[in-house]
Amino acid sequence: QQQLRRLAETGEPVHELAKAFGISRATAYRYLSASANDPVLESREL
């Protein structure tokens, strides 16, 4: 999740990140919003 968030912060399109990580776009958005709102989730790996 940390890597996903870092790449999203650089301006990478979320749909491209989702494809690269092998997850759905909805899951990518959920991870990004969850990591911003819940520090406990930041320690979990994708």
The domain locations on the chain are: 2-42
- pTM (predicted TM-score): 0.70
CA 18 to CA 26: how far, in whole Å?
Answer: 9
Tens of pLDDT, residue by residue, the chain (46 residues): 889 999 999 999 999 999 999 999 999 999 999 876 655 555 555 5
Q: Are 29 and 4 contacting, i.e. CB atoms less than 8 angstroms apart?
A: no
Q: What are phi and psi of 38, to 5 degrees?
A: -140, 100
Q: Are 45 and 2 contacting, i.e. CB atoms less than 8 angstroms apart?
A: no
Residues near 34 by Cβ (< 8 Å), separated by ≥ 6? 1, 41
- pLDDT of 10 reads 96
